[in-house]
Amino acid sequence: MTTETPAVAAARIEAERARGRLMDTARELQDRVSPSTLAQSAWSGAKSKGADLAEEAVDAVRNRPAMASGVIAAIALFLAREPILDLAGKLVGSVKVKRKPGPKPGASKARPRKSRPKTTETIA
């Protein structure tokens, strides 16, 4: 039979309470850092940020519709550059203009240079 003093019994009860609070805190931390909780938190943050960006974009388009149209047109031209270049090549290739071979218009008629014969020295 062990007899405890009231102070020891009170300390034991307080230690059990502290252990219970510590275990509750540990469970709460496990829930906070679990992969599913972190993923859900990241997803909700991304949705919120995306919604904010979309709202700002709509406001910018409302404030400056001409500039927004220009930017959209530039992006569309950039994305469609290959088909546009192909079409331009086909259009230019289908135009056939007969030209006489000769100097370009506006070019001066220069005389061809005379070439000097190459001399080789032989060392005896």
Please report, in tens digits, the pLDDT of each residue of the chain (124 residues total): 567 899 999 999 999 999 999 999 999 999 888 888 889 999 999 999 999 999 998 998 899 999 989 999 999 999 999 999 888 888 887 766 556 666 665 555 556 666 666 666 666 5
pLDDT of residue 56: 92
pLDDT of residue 59: 92
In whole angstroms, what is the distance from residue 124 CA to residue 114 CA? 31
pTM of the model: 0.37
Amino acid residing at 41: S
pLDDT of residue 117: 65
